[in-house]
Amino acid sequence: MHLQARPTAVENYMVLEFPSQSANESLARVTVASFAAQLDPTLEQLTELKTAVSEAVTNAIIHGYGETEGTVRLECRLSAGSIEVVVTDEGNGIENVEEARQPLFTSRPELERSGMGITIMENFVDELVIESEPGKGTRVVMRKHIQVDGQKH
């Protein structure tokens, strides 16, 4: 999946940065949910969006930074009835993104990770792009369509 450049101008955006502490996972979800409320999503759409955000932010905290602490950046943009969420860390990066995207794959089995985080993201948003460079960090871009031509999707 590749995100195409859209001709539509961004109608609204927000940026949030926070330290990679697990207590901020709920902050990230609630913030995105409040922001997305402008598109009048259904409860199901909102739950899916919150879950995908939770997975991406948890990955940044556990896998991106691990035992070290760094900054997680959360950006949201609304345009044409869709929300785009970008989660960026400047942590470890992923050696092999294709491998990481396989269901049940986990690099941290000792932490009881299920290996389903990216699979859940893929299923709960319409577009998912993961860009990563070992030693530099990871950028996860998700887009979810909430309305189509003013109608609920």
Partner 1 sequence: MKITAQEKQGTLVVELQGELDHHAVETIRDDIDQELRRTHYAGLVMSFRNIDFMDSSALGLILGRYRTMSQHQGRMALCEVNPSLRKIFELSGILKILPLFDSEVQALQYVKEG
Positions touching partner 1 (CB under 8 A) are: 22-23, 25-26, 29, 43-44, 47-48, 50-51, 54-55, 58, 61-62, 111-117, 119-120, 123
Confirm whether 113 is a catalytic residue: yes
Q: Which of 101, 113, 127, 131 is catalytic?
A: 113
Identify which of residues 59 and 82 has a Cβ nearer to partner 1 in the complex.
59
Q: In 10 A of CB 129, how many CB atoms?
A: 14
* Closest distance of CB 8 from partner 1, Å: 29
Residues 103/56, Cβ–Cβ less than 8 Å: no
Instruction: Report, in Å, the least distance between residue 144 CB and partner 1.
Output: 14
Q: Which of 55, 92, 122, 143 is catalytic?
A: 55
Is 55 known to be catalytic? yes
Cβ–Cβ under 8 Å, residues 18 and 27:
yes
Conformation bin of residue 139: beta by default, left when phi > 0, alpha when psi is -120 to 50: beta
8 Å CB contact between 131 and 45: no
Q: Which is nearer to partner 1, 14 or 111 (CB)?
A: 111
How big is the CA angle at 11 (ends 36 and 123), to the nearest 5 degrees?
40
Give least dist CB 49 to partner 1, A.
Answer: 12
**Which helix (H) or strand (E) is 97 found in, with range?**
helix 97-100
CB of 20 to partner 1, least distance (A): 11
Q: Which of 25, 59, 139, 143 is catalytic?
A: 59
Tell me which residues are annotated as active site: 55, 59, 113
